[in-house]
Structure 1
Amino acid sequence: MSRPVLEETRIHPSIRGRIADNHADTVKAVQAAVASNKVVVVGMAMNPFPRKARKLLDGLGTPYLYLEYGSYLSQWRRRLALKMWSGWSTLPMVFVNGTLIGGAQDLQRLVDSGEFTALVAPKIAG
């Protein structure tokens, strides 16, 4: 699967740096969290869907890291940078083993199918 991303040759050289540096600290923080935690939930205050994902994970007893970026009226630019980086347009963003699995409803589907349990199960060295 590939998603459309504007080719760098179609971006004027004078703004390439601004695009590359757009809240790069936030993107790097999420990348680091995803690399060092089995399950990461990226959300925002006041949004019920990150709460649903966290409640589901809490109910399963699954440890996770929660990163919150503002509310509806604050830090929207940071969330926009994350959305542009991931290609996922809504919150939460749920990562399992370094892979974006989607949002709260996608997490629920994986739990219901039993696939989530397999994803977070400890790997047995053989």
Structure 2
Amino acid sequence: MSDSNARIAEIVEGNEVVLFMKGTPLFPQCGFSSRAIAILEHLGVDYASVDVLQDMEIRQGIKAYSDWPTIPQLYVKGEFVGGSDIMMEMFEAGELQQLVADVKPAA
């Protein structure tokens, strides 16, 4: 396992909900990351975020880790969920709410 894969695995396994995104929750750097943050904020769950623009190894490594070509990427309970389009579809269907139902609320 590469160093970036090990770092990504540690982040994914160490957080119930984690979003790999461009920018930060307070200052997203693309519309897709902004939409993903808006969905998570609406759900009111505690989540971690990783700014891939600050670390090129993570930025490239996360694409290989998930076998998914785009960012943002959401992980819930160690499982890859998808990007912002999938998040939106799951949210509209009520599936994302069920997925995070037992995640602790945001402080």
TM-score of the two chains, using structure 1 as the length reference: 0.68
Matched, 1:54 2:8: no
Q: Mark the runs of 5 or more structure 2 residues left unpaired by the alignment.
A: 24-28
Taking the aligned partners of 2:57 and 2:79, their CA distance within structure 1 comes to 23
Taking the aligned partners of 2:63 and 2:8, their CA distance within structure 1 comes to 12
Which of 69, 72, 75 is residue 95 of structure 1 equivalent to? 75
Number of residues paired by the alignment? 98
Taking the aligned partners of 2:43 and 2:58, their CA distance within structure 1 comes to 30
Structure 2 counterpart of 1:106: 86
Shift of 1:91: 0.3
Matched, 1:80 2:67: no
Counterpart amino acid of 2:30?
Answer: N
Taking the aligned partners of 2:5 and 2:35, their CA distance within structure 1 comes to 23
Higher relative contact order (CA 8 A, sep 6+): 2
Q: CA 1:81 to 1:36, structure 2 compared with 1: closer, same or farther past 3 Å?
A: closer
Shift of 1:30: 2.3
TM-score of the two chains, using structure 2 as the length reference: 0.78
Query: Whose Rg is larger?
Result: 1
Taking the aligned partners of 1:121 and 1:80, their CA distance within structure 2 comes to 31
Structure 2 counterpart of 1:34: 12
Sequence identity percentage: 26
Q: Mark the runs of 5 or more structure 1 residues left unpaired by the alignment.
A: 1-19
